[in-house]
Amino acid sequence: MYQRKLRVFGCVCFEKKLQKFQVEDVASLDKTFRYVFERVDMYLKIERPGRFGKLVFDDRDFDTNRQNSEAITRFFQRSATGLALDSIIATPFFAISQAQNVGLQLADFVTTIIGMRFQSNEDIKPFFIKLQRQMFEYVNNGGVRVSGLKVIRG
């Protein structure tokens, strides 16, 4: 049976002020976004050299999309950290998950499993264990294992 590899990246955040996944200052990208972008970029460089990743976000309201898009684009084009993440297309895309966008619906499903696991829901544990196998991991230059799932504790 043919199976596609699903690679999971994410950021679980317990710090209340960072939980919006919405940019307030377009000149500064939130840590939650940056942590995910760093992991996606490293995956591409290790597992898919020469290929590029595309960031597709679930559509929100116009102002939220505009602010997030501006901050993300500035990050990739104007910051030293963003410029080094050169395996990701610098312009984010937006799509509507309710419009049968399978990729975004899958992302919603994955985030639900991860969220329920970090809320200590024992019933979700078998699903989380299967999903955890799909999380990208690598060892950085300092010999530290880095997961595709970043957890920010408050």
77 CB-near residues (< 8 Å, 6+ apart): 83, 90
Let me know if residue 79 belongs to a domain: yes
Let me know if residue 2 belongs to a domain: no
3-state helix, strand, coil in the chain (%, to 5): 45, 15, 35
d(CA 59, CA 28): 21
123 CB-near residues (< 8 Å, 6+ apart): 116
Give pLDDT tens digits for 50-94: 999 999 988 888 998 898 899 999 999 999 999 999 999 999 999
Let me know if residue 80 belongs to a domain: yes
> 14 pLDDT band (50/70/90 cuts)?
confident
Strand partners, 152: 13
Let me know if residue 5 belongs to a domain: no
Residue 49's domain comprises 10-100+135-152
Let me know if residue 18 belongs to a domain: yes
Q: What pTM, to 2 d.p., does this model score?
A: 0.84
Cα–chain-centroid distance for residue 70? 17
pLDDT at residue 2 is higher than 50 = no
Let me know if residue 111 belongs to a domain: no
Taking a C-beta distance cutoff of 8 angstroms, is the pair 95, 104 a contact?
yes
Q: Number of structural domains, the chain?
A: 1
Q: What is the pLDDT of residue 76?
A: 94
Give pLDDT tens digits for 88-127: 999 999 988 777 778 888 888 898 999 899 888 999 999 9
Let me know if residue 117 belongs to a domain: no
d(CA 114, CA 131): 8
Let me know if residue 144 belongs to a domain: yes
Q: What is the pLDDT of residue 85?
A: 96
